[in-house]
Structure 1
Amino acid sequence: MKELSPSDLKSILHSKRANMYYLEYCRVMQKDGRVLYLSEAKHENQYFNIPIANTTVLLLGNGTSVTQAAMRMLAQAGVLVGFCGGGGTPLHMACEVEWFTPQSEYRPTEYLHGWLQFWFDDEKRLSSAVTFQKARIQYIEKVWQKDKDLKSEGFVFSDEKIQAALAKFQARTDTATKQSDLLLTEAQLTKALYKYASNSTNIKDFTRQHQSTDKANDFLNHGNYLAYGLAASCLWVLGVPHGFAVMHGKTRRGALVFDVADLIKDALVLPWAFICAKENATEQEFRQQVLQAFTDHKALDFMFDTVKGVALQNYSAEQIEAQNL
């Protein structure tokens, strides 16, 4: 049997890749030119294939290991690999938040160049942050109006309470003079959405607590980390460093990941966290539901389109063409 190498595989754009994996208590290895994970059953070992050409992110949880040969193939196929705790959270490597990011010297650089065109200008960076916030609301509108399952669970975009919260958000966003204004407005909107979601799902006395053990908070944490994985993948493919944030603090190395993840969290992670908590779903069931929602509503596509649009807003076609000559 002829072995395959990652270079033999047909390349799939990262924004079109379908798979995102979380593995635990298994060994990831290379065998016969494929990346597999080995799970030890009671009476026999079981091997499962990972379709690396169609995968964006691989999260390795408790009890996992990965071989050097498998990491080489994952890197060549452009799969982002991260180590995390149980259930996909928290994301860590050693003692700090980190991703293994395979690099290529031939990735396009126009997005980084375009990003730097505006990033050092306070007014332009604020304008870009406003663009992110407006895109976030447009995505909520698009998803909540389209998704019949969310509508049946009480998440209706035209609801008076939602429209009132969004109108206040829009007005304050338009008059913001600094990033802290936007962050405060964002926090107020998210608080209103939490209240709306808890009322829609009859979850009483909900309080957002990152260290809490109730299901709604656990699912929010879990879903947010999945969104961070997509955001990190998007920025890595476009070559924009995670430290060049437009909303979150400039002193946080991964801040831009949070900015990009925020584009989809309220539209998808938030409602499904509450719905799955109401239904007493397992972590695996919640994860499957959220990942399916990411796929159905083309969350990664939306991230790519938004980041590319912001990056190239002050970067002319002539500059891109000259760079590629």
Structure 2
Amino acid sequence: MSTVSRRGASSPHELTRIGERLSFVYLERCTVHRDSNAITAEDANGVTHLPSATIGTLLLGPGTRVTHQAMALLGESGTGVVWVGEHGVRYYAGGRALTRSSGLVEAQATAWANRRTRLDVARAMYRLRFPDEDTAGRTRKELLGMEGQRVRDCYRRESRRMDVPWRRREFNRDDFSAGDAPNQAITAAAQCMYGVSHSVVAALGCSPGLGFVHSGHERSFVMDVADFYRTEIAIPVAFDAAAEGEEDVATRTRRMLRDPINQIGLLDRCVQDIKGLLDYDGTRDTSESNGASQDRVTLLSDGDRHVESGHNYGDEIVW
């Protein structure tokens, strides 16, 4: 029996705000199904219930099977779903979260399409990461040099803090285990941060591909956002995990990331940082401004004027 149109999509006010959700849940070697309004993960140890409406993004690792009903619930809940490789290292595919307004993606595209404003946003991104640095007037080459030095300094500082030997950053795409413990942990932490930032980017309706620092990749903007918190969260946690040994370092890194991500309210902070960088206040979003629960679709007329859709303007001149 067909279920088309039987269940309507949740309105914005019925969804848990992205900033108030858990950051991510990683699953592997299990079957993901639905039980009422919860997601279940069943493996050899039994069944675990997960409240879908409070998950920011679900990372599906090797050996996972997911049912149609589970994906339907995740879609209704506005939960991001990402298929990843072993240890969460590879990104294979992503299911988008619910979006309501095109306001943020329009602001993003407007800033991105102009070379001057694209550089202005890039400078603001570096200023967000390194608030004690003056980025005004900096060229892209200077910004990249500044970032490289700061990240190298962070590696050395965290190595001394945790007494973990550090040589250099190494990552083998074809063999995750080829790296030493800190390199494995840094890679695992970076992938988790990409998953978190992708869930926020998708939930806000931004374009993952329109980056201001990164370019040429379908997730350039996701990488931009994840880098905001690299030296503050990802690298320190990676060295904390590496200090406990090389065995299961990727799994340990993911577990250790959860606490600081939730403690500082990273998802909410990520939302505010993106809106601030794009100079977006949400006044055109009906779900944020006047409390309306229905979506609003408009048509563009001359002079960038918006007129209501669902109306035939064949006999009218729209000014």
Q: Sort the TM-score into its range (normalised by shorter chain).
A: 0.7 to 0.9
1:260 aligns with 2:225: yes
Q: How does 1:242-261 map to 2 (within 5 A)?
A: 242-249=208-215, 251-261=216-226
Partner of 2:267: 300
Q: TM-score, with normalisation over the residues of structure 1?
A: 0.77
- Give secondary structure in 2 for the equivalent of 1:117: helix
Q: Which stretch shifts more, 205-214 or 193-202?
A: 205-214
Q: TM-score, with normalisation over the residues of structure 2?
A: 0.79
What is the count of residue pairs matched by the alignment? 277
Q: In the TM superposition, what is the alpha-carbon distance from 1:204 to its structure 2 partner?
A: 2.3
Partner of 1:163: none
Partner of 2:102: 109
Q: In the TM superposition, what is the alpha-carbon distance from 1:303 to its structure 2 partner?
A: 1.2
Provide the rounded CA distance (Å) in 1 between the counterparts of 2:53 and 2:20: 11
Partner of 1:84: 84
CA contact (8 A) 1:198 1:206 kept: no
- Give secondary structure in 1 for the equivalent of 2:229: helix
- Give secondary structure in 1 for the equivalent of 2:259: helix
* Deviation string, structure 1 residues 16-47 (Cα, Å, up to 9, x no partner): 10251111110001234532111124xxxx11
Q: How does 1:61-210 map to 2 (within 5 A)?
A: 61-92=61-92, 98-104=93-99, 107-138=100-131, 170-171=133-134, 173-178=135-140, 180-210=141-171
Q: In the TM superposition, what is the alpha-carbon distance from 1:133 to its structure 2 partner?
A: 1.1
More helix by share: 1
Provide the rounded CA distance (Å) in 1 between the counterparts of 2:170 and 2:107: 37
Partner of 2:253: 286
Q: In the TM superposition, what is the alpha-carbon distance from 1:312 to its structure 2 partner?
A: 2.6
1:176 to 1:28, Cα distance in 2 relative to 1, 3 A? same
Partner of 1:237: 203
1:201 to 1:11, Cα distance in 2 relative to 1, 3 A? same
Q: In the TM superposition, what is the alpha-carbon distance from 1:296 to its structure 2 partner?
A: 0.6
1:310 aligns with 2:277: yes
* Deviation string, structure 1 residues 251-283 (Cα, Å, up to 9, x no partner): 212110000000111101101111221122743
CA contact (8 A) 1:20 1:56 kept: yes
Partner of 1:18: 22
CA contact (8 A) 1:35 1:50 kept: yes
1:56 to 1:63, Cα distance in 2 relative to 1, 3 A? same
1:76 to 1:316, Cα distance in 2 relative to 1, 3 A? closer
CA RMSD in angstroms comes to: 2.8
Q: In the TM superposition, what is the alpha-carbon distance from 1:74 to its structure 2 partner?
A: 0.8
Which residue identity is paired with 1:241?
S
Which residue identity is paired with 2:138?
A
- Give secondary structure in 2 for the equivalent of 1:174: coil
1:5 to 1:55, Cα distance in 2 relative to 1, 3 A? farther
Provide the rounded CA distance (Å) in 2 between the counterparts of 1:316 and 1:12: 18
Partner of 1:38: 42
Which residue identity is paired with 1:253?
E
Q: In the TM superposition, what is the alpha-carbon distance from 1:209 to its structure 2 partner?
A: 0.6
Which residue identity is paired with 2:258?
L
1:61 to 1:308, Cα distance in 2 relative to 1, 3 A? same
- Give secondary structure in 1 for the equivalent of 2:56: strand
Q: Structure 1: give runs of 5+ residues left out of the alignment.
A: 93-97, 139-165
Provide the rounded CA distance (Å) in 2 between the counterparts of 1:259 and 1:235: 11
CA contact (8 A) 1:203 1:278 kept: yes
Q: Structure 2: give runs of 5+ residues left out of the alignment.
A: 1-6, 173-177, 290-304, 309-319
Identity of aligned residues (%): 23
